[in-house]
Structure 1
Amino acid sequence: MAKPVGSITRGTTGYNRLRRCDRWVVAVHGQALRAAERPLVVDLGYGASHTTTLELFTRLRGVAPGVEVVGIEIDPARVAAAKPYEREGLSFRLGGFELPISRPPTLVRAFNVLRQYAEPEAWRHWETLCGKLAPGGVLVEGTSSENGRRAVWAGLSPEGPGTITFSARFDAFSRPSDLADRLPKTLIHRNVPGERIHAFLSDFDRAWAVSAPYGAYGVRQRWLASVRELSRSWPVPTRPPLGGPARWRLGELTLPWSAVAP
């Protein structure tokens, strides 16, 4: 077997750390998973515990009973520790960005994996993973805080990044730009004046400030008002599955990647 491509991560993980992203995947890509023939989902770099892969499997099986989930880790000890938790439709394998699987995946989730790489490497790994997707497939790549209360992720296809999603519990931030430390590697160093991501986060903070009176009815109402205010000047999707009040009420906001692309 060839040496796995990539570097070992810290492996930090925990229960429900990726619940916010899983919930988005179910809402946005659940239909595509149901429609796919033999849908395969890869959880790349799941870390020191099998937990988040098992949670992803359970949530996806709820909307796509035929889905198969494969957890891939570059650390042999982590794979060995996860093996006892295998079951029909769920397995764990040694590997990296080369994706040692038998058929193209419908979806790849790679969370908290690319933070350790330089920006050019991150772009290259995006291209590598997107090139392995099944037709119509998607790569969901992002970063979350260790407790999962703040997260940002990009949705990509072989054509490149398509969306970026910001998600947070309402008690996990003081202002929306606090999510800047969760930005994808391709954006995190570009949060400076003159870049679109900086302009977006600055405008989000202004919308948050303008919407402060709604805080009397709770942080959720302030968030909803902020998103509505922001949608006046930014291309915020306002209808399902990417947008609309049902998504925003979860502390979530999705934008077209082109709105913040470097």
Structure 2
Amino acid sequence: MDYSLTVRLIAEFMGTAIMVALGNGSVANVDLKGTKGNGSDWMLIAVGYGAGVMIPAMIIGGISGNHINPAFTIGLAVAGMFPWAEVLPYILVQFAGAMFGQLWVVAAYKPHYDLTTNPQHILGTFSTISATKSQLNGFINEFIGSFILFFGALGITKAPFFSDNLGTAHMALGFLVATLVASFGGPTGPALNPARDLGPRILHALLPLRHKGDSDWGYAWVPVVAPTLAAITAILLYKTVFL
């Protein structure tokens, strides 16, 4: 079935919102003071983000393609697999969806934001942070993780193994993201997605939260540029070799 651009944009908005809400909601549950999950381990976040990608994929994958990531949209367009005329509308609704999903997290966890005095824990529920304060290491980590994500996502959805069952392929995407968070999450978070990082970071700067500190704008370019370059590289490589 062919869906109109308007319907596909609504799907991208909702899919990105759900992804950010479930993903950053798991971070909030672990890092904010007084929650039921406070102090839980990293695997809770890996599961939260894995499911945060899988569930929108199951809901909207057959409608909009489940980009929910500006880097993926741009990478597909560069490779000639998505129309350039739709790139900007897709990106705009992805950023809007990411911010809307983050507002859900803030609304649900507002009392715990008020109790939390560590500004890094607060920022971490919005966007990514380099654990060593290294932009170079952050860039390398984000590029590697994003390359695996986009190469894997294209491979999974285009693979003959899943050709008759894209629903199973979308489930596999969730496991891919959960594994990436578990394996490459230590240095930065990671973002793997410009909208997932920059949209909530803008909200962090705007919202009047107690003890929030600064928004680390000096690092903000890394989770935008690295995933985008990785997407272009990974998608072009996959298309050249396998398609």
- Give the TM-score band, short-chain normalised: under 0.3
User: Scaled by the length of structure 1, what TM-score is found?
Assistant: 0.24
Q: Which of the pair is proportionally richer in strand?
A: 1
Which entry has the higher C-alpha Rg, 1 or 2? Answer: 1
Report the TM-score when normalising by structure 2.
Answer: 0.25
Higher-helix-fraction structure? 2
Structure number with greater CO (CA < 8 Å, separation at least 6) is: 2
